[in-house]
Structure 1
Amino acid sequence: MEISSISTNPRPYFSSSTESLLLKRVKLPSWNQRLLSISSNSRTGQPLLGRLNSLVHKENRLKVLCSQKKEIPVLNASSMDEVFDTLAERILPTSSVALNPNAKHIIGLAGPPGGGKSTLAVEVVNRINKLWPQKACSFDSQVTPPDVAVVVPMDGFHLYRSQLDAMENPEEAHARRGAPWTFDPMLLLNCLKKLRNQGTVYVPSFDHGVGDPIEDDIFVSLQHKVVIVEGNYLLLDEGVWKDISNMFDEKWFIDVDLETAMQRVLKRHISTGKPPDVAQWRIDYNDRPNAELIMKSKKNADLVIRSINF
């Protein structure tokens, strides 16, 4: 297992073309150090500071821009099972959280279509629910303990087909379903606020057979201490999406090669009955542009998880 760190701290620059992405050595948190090793790598270019200082003195009108940004740990593993286990150990509820009946640890899990978000969220939640009784010795061994972790899928916040029908260009709206503007982010934000303030909330799921959300289908109760919200656009930094991103205690991004992700989505389309040419058209017209937008939000994550074939 490896964790490296992406640094988005640029050197002084004139334009974005001089920005560099650095992989730096990072000190691991105390959790799971026994499983992890550290790798470091760096890509450096010609130093710009001396050249910029010289130009500043000559021109007296050049501004050197510097920004300090966080380093983003990157979780690498030999298998996805190893990733699932490590993440579950990472976010097991603490005793202090357990003592507060309303407290939640809410995680936003984002990534492109075909990245494996749903699988990761479900597998991590299952492991937490299995491990939690072992950590909380107060549980009676004869009593089945309640689940303490739950998944909330962003798919439940799709607009209804009837809402797409009412748009100015219904054909375009249906063809682009899955783009950010075909969701109801305000409803998601309000659900997260209610969850944070009251400790319980009903949220919708999504019926892929019907193609519409199912209202109030998932109940997040007081017993749930870990909530993983998974979806494409949770880490976008504009509009209501930015407010949603600010609601999370942790922000995870599952990173995957774009071509690999699109091949997975293509197979998914074909498996649901779409002819191969129609499936490929949907990839080119909708899924790939959406994925390219989502990949830009990786910089807003607290942890990047490398996806492995599963």
Structure 2
Amino acid sequence: MRPEPFAHTMDQLVARARALASTGPRRLLGITGAPGAGKSTLAGLLVAALPGVAELVPMDGFHLADAELHRLGRHARKGALDTFDGAGFVALLRRLRAGTETVYAPEFRREIEEPVAGAIPVPPTVPLLVVEGNYLLVPEPPWAEVRDLLDEVWFLDLDETERLRRLTERHIAFGREPVEAADRARGTDQRNAELIAGTVGRADLVVRMAPSNPA
């Protein structure tokens, strides 16, 4: 069953995240949604609003390297479910949930379009980890284990026209020509978006962001 979407304010979302952090020694909050919905922006704003409380752990660090994507014949679909190391992501979440040591998470660097290992240190003292990514609610293995490792998952639901506009502009900002950027947003990215949309029923909260919202 799809949770009812609601246009929360940033203050409300920060308060909910803070309350979640206060309920145990470590909590994991997932932020998911289709490409261009504003996941990275919202996750970054939450962490910035909770200094010393929250740390950001993006799923994008588990992109397979370009060389491996070429070997597998999947580079043209980079960003699709099978172009990530899902099992590695699950293993990281297990270590983070244990919270007994400093864990080094990978990070995806847009300027080189490659993941970089060990880029994000997560000390055991951080009570809230904001885990951001497209596929947090996918029910197929190994991704199915992700949902059980997250205490809450919020699904960002953005007007489709606005989402496609933002996504196209993002592709242009990272070097694609306008026609190529639009094709990408409505091709591979759209197929990924449709898969993600089918997982919304597993979310705890659906946040509908208005087009004017910077997230």
Aligned match of 1:190: 91
1:162 equivalent to 2:93? Answer no
1:120 equivalent to 2:46? Answer no
Deviation at 1:73, TM superposition (A): 4.8
Question: Which of 72, 80, 97 lines up with 1:179 in the alignment?
Answer: 80
In structure 1, how many angstroms separate the alpha carbons of the residues matched to 2:6 and 2:130?
Answer: 18
SS where residue 178 of structure 1 aligns? coil
1:150 equivalent to 2:81? Answer no
In structure 2, how many angstroms separate the alpha carbons of the residues matched to 1:88 and 1:289?
Answer: 31
Unaligned runs of 5+ in 2: none
Aligned match of 2:13: 87
Deviations 1:123-142 (A, max 9, x none): 1111122xxxxxxxxxxxxx
Aligned match of 1:108: 30
SS where residue 166 of structure 1 aligns? helix
Deviations 1:26-57 (A, max 9, x none): xxxxxxxxxxxxxxxxxxxxxxxxxxxxxxxx
In structure 1, how many angstroms separate the alpha carbons of the residues matched to 2:43 and 2:3?
Answer: 20
Q: Percent identity?
A: 37
In structure 2, how many angstroms separate the alpha carbons of the residues matched to 1:212 and 1:203?
Answer: 14
- Closer, same or farther in 2 for the Cα pair 1:127/1:73, shift >3 Å? farther
Q: How many residues align?
A: 209
Deviations 1:229-288 (A, max 9, x none): 000111111111111111100011011122321111111112222111111221232111
Structure 1 contact 89–128 (Cα < 8 Å) conserved = no
Question: Which of 224, 228, 243 lines up with 2:126 in the alignment?
Answer: 224
In structure 1, how many angstroms separate the alpha carbons of the residues matched to 2:112 and 2:191?
Answer: 25
In structure 2, how many angstroms separate the alpha carbons of the residues matched to 1:218 and 1:226?
Answer: 15
Q: Please, what is the CA RMSD of the aligned residues?
A: 1.5
Task: Name the larger-Rg structure.
Answer: 1
1:307 equivalent to 2:212? Answer no
Deviation at 1:306, TM superposition (A): 0.6
Matches within 5 A, 1:35-54: none
In structure 2, how many angstroms separate the alpha carbons of the residues matched to 1:250 and 1:120?
Answer: 15
Aligned match of 2:117: 215
Letter in 2 for 1:152: V
Letter in 2 for 1:163: E
In structure 2, how many angstroms separate the alpha carbons of the residues matched to 1:233 and 1:253?
Answer: 11
1:275 equivalent to 2:195? Answer no
1:74 equivalent to 2:5? Answer yes
In structure 2, how many angstroms separate the alpha carbons of the residues matched to 1:244 and 1:215?
Answer: 20
Deviation at 1:205, TM superposition (A): 0.5
- Closer, same or farther in 2 for the Cα pair 1:75/1:268, shift >3 Å? same
Aligned match of 2:200: 298
TM-score (norm 1): 0.64
Unaligned runs of 5+ in 1: 1-7, 9-70, 78-82, 98-102, 130-146
